[in-house]
Every structure is written in C-alpha cells, then in structure tokens.
C-alpha cells in the first residue's frame, strides 16, 4: 500500500485547526496534512501518502544507502563485469528495438 | 537529494545484482508483501534480471484487491442509495463485487466520486450538508492513519453527514498466515516499507524468530527492491533469520508514534476476510465503538449483506507459491482480469493477472519464468 | 458512407457480422466507454460497426479515406467534452479544431474545411462561449483551415456540462500517400514527435478532487505542418497516429492490433517531462497512458527513418522527436517495453479511463 511519494515542504499553515503544508513533488504542488509530523519544517522532505505526511526522510541515511550501492558497483568493476554484455543483449532476443 | 530518481538509477543496479549473484549458491523463494513493490518489479522488469533460482512470489497484491467481496457489495449497496455521495480512491472503482462495480453504480445514477485523499471526502461533506457523504476506507497500515485522522476530524468538527465504510487490513497477520500454511514455500520476506514507516518494526522480530525466516524492510524504488532482495538472500545463505531495515531513510524502529496513537484511538483489531484467500484472524481493523456514529455499516444498516468468497478461487494457494495460476481450473475462462474471482486476478500486478497478460507473449509465461539475463 | 476504395481492401467485411452483440458485462454505458481503451473498442465493434456496416468505417482509422469525384479525401469527426473548459495551454475551442485537424493529418491529409457544432447548457455565460469561439477561430486560422458550416443547440440547465463542441473536417490526401495502421510492417522504425503526457496532466491538475499545482501547459497543437514536413521526405510513411485518449500505450496497441505485428518500445527513449513524471508518481499513473493533443507517433520504413526524424526535428512541433522503438514480427498485436533496467514489460491496452491509485 504503498503509493507514498517523497515531497519537500514549501509552506506551513494552520487550517480549520489542522496543521497543513504545501508540498512540492518535483514540480507538482499539493496540500498535505502534517498532523502526524507536527514538527516537520519548511525545506524538509517527508513520505506522503493520500495527502498525509507519514514519515520524515532522513538525508544522512539516504546518502549512506546510495554510497553503499555505489561501493558495490565499484567492487564489481575491479573484478570485471560479466553482466554488461548480457544486459545489452536484452533478456530476450526480440526485445531489442 | 530528491529521494526518488537517485534510487532508480540503472547504473547502480549492476553492483547490487552482481552482489546478489555472487551470494547465491542455491534456489530461494522470497515474497514481496506489498502490491506497490510488485508494481515496481513488473514495471521495471526487475525479476528478469535476478539470477536463476531467485523466485519472487508476489504477495497478497494491494489492499484494494484483497478487500473482501462482502465489503465491496456493501459499498455498492450504499453508493447506489439516493442522496449519498460515495467517495473512493480511484483503484477501488473497478474492483468487481458480486454482480457489478462502482463504475456501474455510477452509470446507474449513483454519485460516486474519486478523491485523492480522505480529507477531500470530508471537504465534500462540509460543502454538501444535505447529502450523506461516505468514504470507502480501505488499505494497509499506511492508509489507515489518514483514514483514522479523517474520522477523528469528522467527529471533532461535528460533521454529521460524513461516515466511513472501513475495511483495513494488517500485514503481520498475513505474514503469519502465509508462514503457518502447511506447504509454505516462502523462505524470506520483503516487508512493506511504508507500512513500517507508520508501524515501526517491533511486530516483526517475533515472527522472524518463530518461523526462522528473514524479514527485510524494503522500499519501493527499483534499487530499494534489489537491496531488499540482496539482504534477504545474504541472510538465507548464512542461515540467519533476523529483521533487517533496508529502508532506513523512511523507517524508524518506532514508526510514527502520533499515527500509532491515532490508530489505537479510532480502530480496533478484528478478524478479516481476504478476497479469494479467506478469513485471517486479527488481520483487520474496524472502527472502534467510540466512532459508531461515523461507521457507515451502522448508519446504512448493511449488516444483513453477507457474501461468501467464491470457492472456485484458489488465490490463497497461488499466493503461497503452491499453484501456478494456469493450473487453476477457473483461470482464463471463468476468471479473467475483466471477470476476476480473487485478489490475484483483480490487481493488474497480481500473479494471475500478470500470468494472463504475459502468456500472450509466448514461451515465458510469466516474468519470473523469463530467461534470466545471466 | 461511400464505397470502399482501394485504401481499405484489407479491412474485414462487416456484412458477415451478426447483429449488435450485447456488451459483455455493461448493460449501461460507463465512463470507460469513452476512454479510448478496450471498452471504447468493444462499443465500436459490438454496437456501431454491425449497425452501420460499411467497409470504410471498418478500417477504423483516425479518419476515413474516401474517393469522391476522382479526389481522395480524408473525412473525420470528433466531439469534445473536456472539463474544465479552460485549462493551462488551451481550451475546448482550440482543442476542437486541433483534434479534428490532427485526425485528418494522421492520414496525410491537410485539413481544408471544418464544420462546428456547439451544444450549450442553459445558463452558461455568453462571454464564455465568446472566448471559446474566439479560440476556435484563432486555432482554425493557425491551422490554415476554414470553418464553413455550423450548428448551435441549447439544452436545459443541468443537462449539459457547460459547452460541448463537435467538429468535422475534410481534407485532400496527396497522391501516392497511403497512411493507415494496417500498413505497419516488421522492420519499421517507430518515431515519436516529442514529450508525452502534457495535455493529460494539465487537464488533470484542474480536475475536482485531484487538484494540484503544476507549471505545465497542454501541448494542444495542429500537426498538419509537421506531417507535411515528414511527407516531403517520403510519401511512404506507413502509419501516423496522434496518441490522444489512452496515450501512447493505446495508440501503439491499436497499431499493433490493426497490423498484426508486434511493437517494441525502448522506455528510456520516450521523452517524459519531469513534471509529468512527478504528477504520475504522485497519482500512480503511467505516462504512457496519459493523453496528448499535439503529438504524433509514426511508423516509417527503416531506410527513411533518419530523414524523417531530421525533418521532424527541424519543425517546431517536432523539436524533441525521437526514435522510440521498432515494429517486430514477434508477439503480434502486443506492445512490449524494454525498461531502463534491461527488463521487459507488456504495455497493455488500457481498459478505460486511467484513475489515480493508492497502491
């Protein structure tokens, strides 16, 4: 369940006693309820699902994850990469335009 | 950092795939629990890139698809009533009940509206005080907090013409049900990251230990899926079975405490039928008695509607990897994406629907069976 | 309906078909019947084709190709029911011109004359009608087409959606040009004239219940000039299609089905603007299924592909044109996408309208 998308808080305001934010999703802007992340600040990113911010995104751990992925790639380069040729051939012959 | 494209960079997939390939010494069957993850896998053809022997068993699909027939029938009955504005997430409109779907109710004069957020339904209720506005509150633990907040606000603001038809489902009991099946083939789980964003991970260590099965909290972008698979396979190869968080940027061990508190206030745990699968104990949430006023089942008196899940549907076995979809007698005849019997055919990513689509491609009947790249 | 001409000889003969078959599971019309997907196709096949007969209609092109007094004409009609009436980058007025002009252009014809019928709802401000008419006139002049006949009807308040517009158009098909979906051949190169999803996302951003802010405009435009530029390279274009309702996915599926050939698309080559990608990510949609109103997809013999692509890129409406795939002998009738990760997926014909999803 799971169509939850990262967005950046642009603006915060109370509306009808509810904490709401304007959130930017890469050029698409929507109103989002902040009641579950009341201390989320302008400029921060959160996972948003059906108009609710559900969890703050942690930049530090995102960077660590990406660094790990990059490291795995480098490791492989050292040993040569048998995958590349196979990937270029496509999973099935016919699939190559 | 936008937390999106960075995690779907094909260049970074290679290292992950190579590491998985280097680790695998024997076949493993993993289940991704969430339909959103299945969607990513099929959308990007990720299963075709995995080394031979790594089998992905698609989990119960999305909560839309597992919503029991009986609740759909109740929704259709309520939506067809004059004076009702029935609001729903878009994916629910096409899900068939016993003899029709919400599209058809709309074509017969029902006022059925697609909303993005449950709060949109509450706004519609405010704008239409002389109409009964009902929201179809379905979903896993991710969608439950938004729905809970909406019900809570309706009561707090005294919006009396708003109610919710609730059929929430919970992931851990579903994992339990899969694992306790006598012929279970699943050896490791990719747990649904956004469910854990809300609920945290404390329900899982006990499950992992008791069933001796690794559970890896996994995100939804292509690289997240590969990382979830990589960590699960590493554990399996080492004989480990712990809970691991491969989605730390969005999942804290405690989840979202404010959301969990709201869930505890608004909902109570109940047994829940899963479409085509059957009843799983304590696998659902319903509105607690404190919110009886906001409960559409109560307000519209649809308790008399009871629908049995079709016995011909064997999606429970398909979900556990015990049966290939085309081994089911109903497959392709009685049961098609247009006339589905169970969850796995309702969802376009469900195992049966994918089988139905991909068999037209010829030899490889499903993505899983396609020749792996290496 | 005119007699069939040589252009439609491979179309099935509808005289052998049975009476209108009941729609399998829809006793009433649902929105999906207008969505340009499988349900629309069923309605046409099961209800309209058997009732109307006629070999020309059975060719099911965007426009009909007719022989009349020695001339080869393209003839097409389209109704416009867009909501909201005004959207970023256009309104129902210019849409009504460009939609029909483009349907004609997809058979290689340059639109010459249009008819225009308005169905107005009682209570609509005349200034709104005026703005729409103005936009319609401007679009017609820009496309080099003349509105020569028209009609106006008014329906009671509550029985319409403000303004509906129907246009029909005719144009001449140049000699030696035979463009229709059935002519797609394995080996053809598939070209796309630019970025997808702009119109659909622009309109969706204003739809009640979904509203979102986005700096994006509909790509609504008349494609006659672009097609002329392509035909100047070679008259032997096999297929042109404007991927409107149902998006690129529906257009490619229709071509694959009509030609009995397979289509393979390289997903990385399909240009998707970042805002379209973002809107689709938020709503759970696939850009391949989102509507366009100023794009075309072309199936071109391999030997002409480079020349046609260069001509497209030299035209303002084809500046971002790209080779996106090929027609193949495998999986006839199916469209398969090669993903950025090197996997493949089936791009199915959409059933009806695409809805935002939560999972």
Confidence of residue C1 (pLDDT cuts 50, 70, 90): very low
Task: Flag whether C173 is in a domain.
Answer: yes
Task: Flag whether C291 is in a domain.
Answer: yes
HSE-CB of C23 using CA atoms within 13 angstroms: 20
Last residue of a domain, one of C143, C177, C211: C177
B241-259 pLDDT, tens digit each = 999 999 999 999 999 999 9
Q: What is the pLDDT of residue C95?
A: 97
Domain boundaries, chain B: 5-63+171-245, 65-169+257-299, 315-360
Neighbours of B, requiring at least 3 CB pairs below 8 Å, are: A, C
Q: Are residues C209 and C339 in the same domain?
A: yes
For helices A59-78 and B222-238, what crossing angle results, to 10°? 70
pLDDT surpasses 60 at B371:
no
Q: What is the pLDDT of residue A96?
A: 34
Chain B residues whose beta carbon lies within 8 Å of the beta carbon of residue C31: 103, 106-107
Q: Are residues C152 and C186 in the same domain?
A: no
C190-209 pLDDT, tens digit each = 999 999 999 999 999 988 77
Q: Are residues C263 and C120 in the same domain?
A: no
The C-alpha atoms of residue B359 and residue B367 are separated, in whole angstroms, by: 10
Q: What is the pLDDT of residue A79?
A: 57
Confidence of residue B275 (pLDDT cuts 50, 70, 90): confident
Measured at the CA of B150, the angle between CA B145 and CA B152, to 5 degrees, comes to 90
Confidence of residue B364 (pLDDT cuts 50, 70, 90): very low
Confidence of residue C29 (pLDDT cuts 50, 70, 90): confident
Q: Which stretch of B119-123, B357-361, C320-324 has the lowest confidence by average pLDDT?
A: B357-361
Residues 12-71 of chain B whose Cβ lies under 8 A from any Cβ of chain A: 12, 14-19, 21, 34-37, 45, 48-49, 62-63
Measured at the CA of B129, the angle between CA B128 and CA B132, to 5 degrees, comes to 80
Residues 82-121 of chain B whose Cβ lies under 8 A from any Cβ of chain A: 89, 116-120
H helix or E strand, kind and range, residue B19: helix B10-23
Distance from CA of A75 to the nearest CA of C (A): 20
**Which residues form the domain of C204?**
181-346
Mean pLDDT for all residues in chain A = 83
Contact present, B58 and B351 (Cβ < 8 Å): yes
Q: What is the pLDDT of residue B139?
A: 92
Question: Looking at the complex, does the CB of residue A51 fall below 8 Å from at least one CB of chain C?
Answer: no
**CATH, residue C144:** 3.30.1330.10
CATH of domain A1-79: 2.30.30.140
Q: Are residues C100 and C222 in the same domain?
A: no
- Tell me, which fold does domain B65-169+257-299 have in CATH? Rossmann fold (3.40.50)
Kindly state the average pLDDT of the residues C124-153: 97
Q: Are residues C280 and C189 in the same domain?
A: yes
Q: Are residues C86 and C108 in the same domain?
A: yes
The C-alpha atoms of residue C171 and residue C68 are separated, in whole angstroms, by: 12
Residues 32-71 of chain A whose Cβ lies under 8 A from any Cβ of chain B: 33, 35-38, 45, 47, 49-52, 54-55, 57-59, 61-66, 69-71
Q: What is the pLDDT of residue B61?
A: 62
pLDDT surpasses 80 at B366:
no
Kindly state the average pLDDT of the residues A55-74: 95
**CATH, residue C185:** 3.90.650.10
Q: What is the pLDDT of residue C305?
A: 98
Q: What is the pLDDT of residue B338?
A: 78
Kindly state the average pLDDT of the residues C212-237: 96
Are B19 and A75 an interchain contact pair (Cβ–Cβ within 8 Å)?
yes
Neighbours of C, requiring at least 3 CB pairs below 8 Å, are: A, B
**For chain B, what percent of residues have pLDDT higher than 90?**
67
Q: What is the pLDDT of residue A80?
A: 52
Mean pLDDT for all residues in chain C = 89
Q: What is the pLDDT of residue A16?
A: 83
pLDDT surpasses 90 at C108:
yes
Chain B residues whose beta carbon lies within 8 Å of the beta carbon of residue C284: 90-91
Burial class (CB in 10 A: 0-12, 13-18, 19+), C71: exposed
B74-85 pLDDT, tens digit each = 999 999 999 999
Chain A residue closest in CA terms to B368 = A91
Q: Are residues C153 and C186 in the same domain?
A: no
Question: Looking at the complex, does the CB of residue A85 fall below 8 Å from at least one CB of chain C?
Answer: no
Q: Which residue did the predictor score with more confidence, B301 or C311?
A: C311
Specify the pTM: 0.89
Q: Are residues C235 and C328 in the same domain?
A: yes
Report how many domains make up chain C.
2
Q: Which stretch of B167-171, B213-217, B340-344, C298-302 has the lowest confidence by average pLDDT?
A: B340-344
CATH of domain B5-63+171-245: 3.40.50.11750
Q: Are residues C220 and C172 in the same domain?
A: no
Residues written for chain C:
359
Of C215, C191, C195, residue with least CA distance to C205: C215
Task: Flag whether C30 is in a domain.
Answer: no
Q: Are residues C126 and C246 in the same domain?
A: no
Confidence of residue B346 (pLDDT cuts 50, 70, 90): confident
Mean pLDDT for all residues in chain B = 90
Are B357 and C341 an interchain contact pair (Cβ–Cβ within 8 Å)?
no
Are C358 and B143 an interchain contact pair (Cβ–Cβ within 8 Å)?
yes
């Amino acid at each position: 369940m799971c169509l939850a998308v990262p967005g950046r808080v642009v603006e915060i305001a109370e509306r009808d006693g509810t904490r709401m934010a304007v959130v930017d999703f890469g050029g698409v802007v929507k109103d989002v309820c902040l009641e579950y992340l009341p201390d989320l600040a302008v400029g921060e990113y959160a996972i948003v699902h059906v108009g609710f911010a559900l969890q703050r995104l942690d930049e530090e751990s995102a960077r660590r994850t990406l660094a790990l992925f990059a490291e795995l790639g480098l490791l492989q380069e050292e040993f040569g990469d048998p995958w590349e040729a196979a990937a270029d051939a496509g999973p099935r012959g016919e699939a190559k335009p | 950092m936008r937390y999106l494209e960075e995690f779907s960079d094909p260049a970074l997939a290679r290292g992950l795939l190579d590491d998985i390939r280097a680790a695998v010494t024997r076949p493993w069957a993993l289940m991704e629990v969430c339909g959103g993850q299945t969607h990513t896998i099929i959308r990007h053809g990720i299963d075709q890139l995995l080394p031979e022997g790594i089998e992905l068993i698609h989990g119960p699909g999305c909560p839309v698809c597992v919503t029991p027939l009986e609740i759909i029938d109740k929704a259709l009955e309520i939506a067809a009533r004059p004076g009702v504005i029935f609001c729903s997430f878009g994916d629910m409109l096409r899900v068939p009940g016993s003899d029709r779907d919400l599209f058809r109710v709309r074509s017969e004069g029902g006022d059925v509206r697609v909303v993005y957020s449950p709060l949109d339904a509450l706004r519609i209720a405010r704008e239409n005080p002389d109409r009964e506005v009902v929201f179809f509150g379905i979903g896993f633990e991710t969608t439950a907090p938004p729905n809970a907040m909406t019900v809570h606000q309706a009561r707090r603001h005294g919006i009396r013409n708003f109610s919710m038809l609730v059929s929430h489902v919970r992931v851990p009991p579903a994992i339990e049900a899969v694992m306790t099946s006598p012929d279970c083939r699943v050896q490791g789980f990719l747990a649904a990251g956004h469910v854990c964003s809300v609920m945290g991970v404390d329900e899982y260590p006990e499950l992992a230990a008791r069933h001796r099965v690794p559970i890896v909290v996994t995100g939804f972008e292509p690289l997240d899926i590969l990382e979830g698979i990589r960590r699960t396979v590493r554990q399996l190869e080492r004989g480990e079975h712990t809970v691991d968080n491969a989605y730390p940027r969005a999942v804290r061990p405690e989840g979202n405490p404010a959301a969990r508190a709201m869930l505890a206030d608004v909902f109570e745990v109940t047994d829940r039928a899963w479409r085509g699968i059957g009843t799983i104990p304590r696998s659902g949430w319903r509105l607690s008695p404190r919110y009886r006023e906001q409960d559409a089942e109560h307000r519209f008196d649809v308790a008399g509607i009871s629908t049995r899940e079709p016995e011909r549907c064997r999606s429970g076995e398909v979900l556990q990897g015990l049966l290939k979809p085309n081994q089911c007698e109903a497959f392709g005849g009685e049961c098609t994406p247009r006339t589905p019997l169970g969850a796995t055919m309702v969802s376009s990513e469900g195992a049966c629907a994918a089988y139905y689509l991909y068999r037209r491609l010829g030899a490889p009947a499903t993505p899983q069976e396609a020749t792996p790249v290496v | 309906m005119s007699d069939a001409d040589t252009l439609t000889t491979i179309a099935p003969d509808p005289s052998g078909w049975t009476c209108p078959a009941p729609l399998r599971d829809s006793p009433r019309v649902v929105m999906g019947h207008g969505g340009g997907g499988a349900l629309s196709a069923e309605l046409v096949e099961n209800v309209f084709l058997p009732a109307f007969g006629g070999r020309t209609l059975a060719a099911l092109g965007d426009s009909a190709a007719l022989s009349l007094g020695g001339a080869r004409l393209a003839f097409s009609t389209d109704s416009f029911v867009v909501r909201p009436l005004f959207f970023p980058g256009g309104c129902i007025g210019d849409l009504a011109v460009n939609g029909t002009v483009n349907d004609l252009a997809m058979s290689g014809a340059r639109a010459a004359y249009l008819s225009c019928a308005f169905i107005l709802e009682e209570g609509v401000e005349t200034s709104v009608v005026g703005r729409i008419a103005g936009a319609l006139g401007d679009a017609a002049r820009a496309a080099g087409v003349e509105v020569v006949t028209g009609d106006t009807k008014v329906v009671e308040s509550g029985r319409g959606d403000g303004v509906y517009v129907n246009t029909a158009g005719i144009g001449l098909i140049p000699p030696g040009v035979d463009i229709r979906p059935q002519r797609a051949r394995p080996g053809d190169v598939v070209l796309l004239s630019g970025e997808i999803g702009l119109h659909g996302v622009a309109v969706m951003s204003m739809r009640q219940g979904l509203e979102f802010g986005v700096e994006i405009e509909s790509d609504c435009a008349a494609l006659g000039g672009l097609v002329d530029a392509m035909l100047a390279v070679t008259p032997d274009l096999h297929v042109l299609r404007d991927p409107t309702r149902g998006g690129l996915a529906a257009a490619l599926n229709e071509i694959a089905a009509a030609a009995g050939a397979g289509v393979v698309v390289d997903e990385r080559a399909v240009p998707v603007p970042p805002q379209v990608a973002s809107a689709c990510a938020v709503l759970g949609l696939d850009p391949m299924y989102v509507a366009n109103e100023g794009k075309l997809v072309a199936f071109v013999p391999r030997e002409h592909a480079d020349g046609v692509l260069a001509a497209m890129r030299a035209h303002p409406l084809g500046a971002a044109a790209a080779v996106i795939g090929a027609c193949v002998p495998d999986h006839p009738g199916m469209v398969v996408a090669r993903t950025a990760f090197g996997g493949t997926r089936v791009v199915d014909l959409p059933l009806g309208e695409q809805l935002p999803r939560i999972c």
